[in-house]
Structure 1
Amino acid sequence: MFSLPPARLRLSTSMREYFKVMTGLASSGYAEGPDVAALESELAERVKTTEAVAVPLARTGLYLIFKHLIPKGRKIIMSPYTVSEVVNMAICAGLEPVFADIDTATCNISPEAVDVMIDDDTGGVLVTHFYGLICEVERLGQICRERGIPMIEDAAQAFGAQIDGRPAGSFGDAAVFSFNLYKSLSSFLGGAIVTNNAALAEKVRIELAGYPIMPKRNFLQSVVSGLITDLATHPLIYGLLTYRVLRFGFLKNVDAINNRVKNDIAPVRRQQMPSSYLKRTSNLQAKLILPQLTEIEDRIIERINCARMYDAGLRDIEEISIPPFRDDGSHCYWYYPIQFSNRTNLVAMVMKDGCDIGPSYHRNCADMSCFQEFNQTCPAAAFAADAVVYLPTYPGYPHAAVRRNIMAIRRYFGRA
C-alpha cells in the first residue's frame, strides 16, 4: 500500500535559530560583538588546533588558505568529485587544479592517485572528507610530508568526525569547515578555517579585516531559503504536497522541478572572486553556531544508527556498492551513499514504492567543459557522478523509514 514518506532531507535549523535571526537583525549586535571571538576559541579547542578563523563561507576559507599558503602558479592536487566552486577557488587564488581520481568504495581522494600526480610544480594537496567519512588522511599526510608540500583538509561535511580522538581538520596544515544551510551545523551561511600555522592565520585575519561584514540582505536571503525548505519539508506539508511534486518531477523527468534539488546546475569557470564571497563573518552568524557545538555528538550518533541499519540491510546485495560502516566516529554519515550503475531506474522504482531517496548531484569536475584545460580521465569519479544515490540519515529521521527504504531497495533487486 502506498504511503507518504518523511523528507529525504531536513535542515538542522529549528525555531531557536529563526528567533535569534529575527532578534539579531533588529538589534545593533548583528555585525559586531563578542561571539565571533568566542566561536573561534571554541572551535580551536574542539578541533585541537592553535588557531581558528571564522569565515563567511567555506569557499571563501578555501580561497584564503590557497592564496596565503601556496605560491601563485603552482599546482594544487584535488578530488574531481566535488562542487565546481572548490575548483574555482583554486583558480581565483592563481593555482592550477590537478585532479587525482577517487577511491571507488569511499568517494574520497585516492592516496595512490595523489602520489603519482605530485611533481616539482605541485604546491599542495586538497583532501576532502566526503559524505562525512574521513579520508585516508594519515597516509596522505605522510605522502605530503615526504614531498615537502602542505595538505589542506576540506572538512565541510565532516565536522565532529574523528580518528582515535583526533578530529577531522587537525591532520593537515589547514582545514575548512562549512556551516551553510545544509550542513550538520548551520548558521545559514558560514564557515571556519582551523590551523596550527599562526602566520597563515594572521595573514587571513589581516585580509578579512579589509572585507565588509556580511550584508544583512545576503544573509537574509539564505535565511528565507532555509525557511522555505523547512516549511516544504515539514511532515504535513511534505506528505500532502512537496513529495508528490518531487516524485512527479523525477518520474516524468521534469527539469523545472528536478533542478530545484540539484546543485552545480550551470557550472562556470571563474577568474576573479565574486564580491559576495569577500565578506566578513557577522556576530549573528557566530551566535547561531555556538550552542550547536555541544549538540554535534548526539547528531552524529543518530546518523550512525541509521547507517548501521542500512549496512545490515543492504550489505548482501552485490549489485550495489555501499560505504564502509564505522561506528568509531571516523564517519559521521552526512548521507548514506550507495552506488548503482542504473541509479535512475532504482530511484524511480523506490519512489514508486512510496519512499523518498534521491540521486547525488555532485559532478566529476575533471570532465566539465568549463574546466576543459584541466580535464583528466578519472573513471572512478565519472562513475560516482552517475551512480551515487543518497539514503537519508539526518537526526530525527525515523528508523521505520530506514527499514522501508531498505525493503524497497531489496524488492528492486529481488531480495525481499
Structure 2
Amino acid sequence: MTSWKEHAIWWHVYPLGFTGAETAAPPPGAPVAHRLRKLEGWLDYARDLGCSGLQLGPVFAAETHGYDTLDHFRIDPRLGDDADFDRLVAAARARGLRIVLDGVFNHVGRGHPFFGDPAYAHWFVREGDGHRVFEGHHGLVTLNHDHPDVLDHVVRVLDHWLARGASGWRLDAAYAMPAAFWHKALAQVRPLHPEAWFGGEVIHGDYAGYVAESGLDSVTQYELWKALWSSLNDGNLFELAWALKRHDALLETFVPLTFAGNHDVTRLASRLDDERHVGHALAVLFTVAGLPSVYYGDEQGFRGVKEDRAGGDDAVRPAFPDRPEELSPAGWPVYRLHQRLIGLRRRHPWLVRARTSLPHLTNTTAALESAAPEGAGPGRVLTLLNVGDEPYRFPLPAAGLAVADASEPGGDPCLVPAHGWKILTLA
C-alpha cells in the first residue's frame, strides 16, 4: 500500500502572520488569543485547491517571529492553546488533510528559561566570551547538538506532537545542524510513528548526502526554486535544464520538497519580471517530480518583497481575511490555475517520481518530457514553454498526446504563443 507521504501536496501557512497575531509575545498573565481557530475556516479552501495537508510555520510559544522558541511543548498564546490545536487537527482530518509542524531545533530564543540557568549550561555552545548564535542573530542561541540531553528533548518534542495528531515535521535550519543528530533522533521517533514524514530545510550543499546521512525523508529544493524564476527572467532556459538534470539525480536518493515560494523569499509574482510567466513556473512545478508546496497567498497571485532588515519578512507573511469570500476578485484566476494544475498532477500520481528530460531546448523555448518511473505503468507529460516574443512551434511528435492545459485554449498542440505554455498528456 502506498504511503500518504508519496503524494503529499501542501498548503504552506505562516500562522502568526496569517492570523494577524502581534509581533511580540504578550506579557505574562495576558489572556490566550484563540487565533488558530481562524485556520479552520480555510480548510475547505485548501482542500478545494487540491492540497492534501497544511504545512504550518511555527506554532509554539516564542518571543517574536516564532523561530525564537521559548517552549516547544506549549502553543503560542498569540495563537491559542492545546484545545485549539486539537480542534484544528480534528477539523483537518475530517477533510482528509494532514498537518506538518515547523520544528525549530537548531536554536532557541535568548529568553528561553533554560538559557542562563546554570543547570542547563551544557545545552548551549560557548563561543569566545559568549554563546554561539544562529547566523549572527543575537536573539537566537544555538543548542549543543552533541549533548544527549538536547537529543532527548528534541525526541520528546517530536513524539509529543505526533502523538497529539501531527503527521510530520518540517525541520528548520537543518543545514546548520549535524546530519548525525537527526539520524539519532529519528532512530528513536520512527518506531513510535512509522508513518510520520520528516523534511529538512537545506538551502545549498549536498542534498542527497544530507538525506542519506540524516535519515530524513526529504529536504527543500532551493536549486529548482531559484531556476524557476531566474531562467524565466533571464530568457535562459538552459539554467532550468541544468537544475532539472540535478533534480532528476536526487530521485535516486529521495523525493525533494519543491516550491515556487515560501515564508523566507520574495513572492513569485514579485520575483518575476514578466507576470505572464507565472503560469510557466507553475507548469514546471506541477509536472516534475517532487512534493509540491504552495505558500499561502501565492495561489492568489499575492505580491511581496522580502528585505534584509528588521521586519523585512512582514511583506511575505501577511494576514489573511476571516473568510475566502473576502479575498480580492483579482486573485481567483490564479487560484483556479493552481486548481487545474494540481488536479492534473493528482490524476497522474506517478509524477511524484517522474524522470524529466528535455527533448528540445533553446534560450527561450523548452520542452520538458516527464515520464513515469519504471514499474509505474504508462505515463507521459510534455510541458512546452515559450518565453520569446513570437509564437513557436515545437518540432516534436505529438501523436497520442492532447492538450491538458495551456496559457491560451485551442490550436495546434505543438504551437505555443509568445510568452505562453502548454501541457500535453496521453490522450
Q: Same fold (TM over 0.5)?
A: no
Q: Please, what TM-score do these two structures have when normalized by structure 2? A: 0.28
Structure with the higher fraction of residues in helix conformation? 1
- Determine which structure has more spread, i.e. the larger CA radius of gyration: 2
Q: Please, what TM-score do these two structures have when normalized by structure 1? A: 0.28
Structure number with higher relative contact order (C-alpha < 8 Å, ≥ 6 residues apart): 1
Structure with the higher fraction of residues in strand conformation? 2
